[in-house]
Structure 1
Amino acid sequence: MSNVLVRDAQPGDVEAIWNLTRELAVFEHLEDQFVATVDDFHKELFGEDPAAKVIIAEIDGKLAGTALYFRTFSTFLGRSGIWLEDLFIHEEYRRHGVATKLMEELKRRSPGRLEWMVLDWNEDAIALYDHLGATQFTDAWTHYRIT
């Protein structure tokens, strides 16, 4: 595993976070749905009432990956948790322990559940999550969205 530094994102990181999220949209074949602007990210991540947080992984001072997340609450557990919205690693830094470090940090920050979804064709990510001991909920729930 490379020397990976994980830290909280700062306002000066917003353009790099936005660029990496745009890369994620391309990777997921969803670039037509990526309409957020750098200003949107700045407002929602670092504004008066932030909607989400980001942790950044760096190797040798270079951005290697990000994890964008927000707090949840489990009524069954009676504790807060984390919903991981986006985890993305620059291609050149994959298989260097970056995603594992980010996931470990998110788990450390969550007193309850750490939850997320993954596209069913993303076999590398699924293999990582299985390796980390995550549980798949493929047949228990139906996902809904209103836009």
Structure 2
Amino acid sequence: MIRSAALDDVPEILTMIRELAAYERAEEQARATGEQLRKALFGEHPAAFALIAEDDDTGATMGYALWFPRFSTWTGTRGMHLEDLYVRPQARGSGHGKALLAALAATCRQSGYDRFEWWVLSWNTPAIDFYTSLGVELMEEWKVCRLSGEPLEELAAQAPQAAAPACDG
């Protein structure tokens, strides 16, 4: 069963975020708090949305997908960015990941989104094989750019005084 996340799911989502970070060999980078997640998913202006995959028999949480809208200047339309897709190890291969992706694809179509995009680590061949079996186009020519920490602070300090105001999202 796939359903929209509820406020009560925040602790379980946070646990799965930590599980995903451990799988991706980046536990130290998963610093989000329950309060941050509550605000991001259920605040006045949600920054993201989440789906929960549950076991049909037990109702146990088997995985989650967390996404947010994006915008393409090329198509002039919104799209979906999948930030996290995670299925617990004991549930992999049972259809939960595909069901989450299918629900997200349906949300894209219903919302008029033209694109559904996400990143996958280059060493995660099980995920890559799964995605390509669904017809996903791997964008090999693109590289992800990230600016954070001290380099972000240094560049921000160089902004002209008339820089754009902070976004509340």
TM-score by length of 2: 0.81
Q: Does residue 78 of structure 2 align to residue 80 of structure 1?
A: yes
Once the two structures are superposed, the pairs formed by residues 87-102 of structure 1 within 5 Å of their partners are 87-102=85-100
Is 1:11 the equivalent of 2:12?
Answer: no
Unaligned 5+ segments in structure 2 are 149-169
| Structure 2 letter corresponding to 1:16 | E
Match of 1:28 among 15, 24, 27: 24
For structure 1, the 5+ residue unaligned runs are none
Residue type of the alignment partner of 1:118:
V
User: What fraction of aligned residue pairs are identical, expressed as a percent?
Assistant: 41
- 1:85-124 matched pairs, under 5 angstroms: 85-110=83-108, 111-124=113-126
Q: Which has the higher contact order (CA 8 A, sep 6+)?
A: 1
Q: Which has the higher strand share?
A: 1
Amino acid at match of 1:108: A
Number of aligned positions between the proteins = 142
Q: Secondary structure at the match of 1:72?
A: strand
Cα drift, residue 49 of structure 1: 1.2
Structure 2 distance, partners of 1:78, 1:106, is 20
Query: RMSD value over aligned CA atoms?
Result: 0.9
Q: In the alignment, which of 99, 110, 130 is matched to residue 128 of structure 1?
A: 130
Query: Which of 47, 63, 66 is residue 64 of structure 2 equivalent to?
Result: 66
1:44-68, CA deviations, whole angstroms, 9 ceiling, x for partnerless residues?
1111111100011111311011000
* 1:11 Cα deviation after fit: 0.4
After TM superposition, where is structure 1 displaced by more than 4 Å over at least 4 residues in a row?
none
SS of aligned partner of 1:80: strand
In the TM superposition, what is the alpha-carbon distance from 1:75 to its structure 2 partner? 2.0
User: What is the deviation of 1:78?
Assistant: 2.3
TM-score, with length taken from structure 1: 0.93
Q: Which has the larger radius of gyration?
A: 2
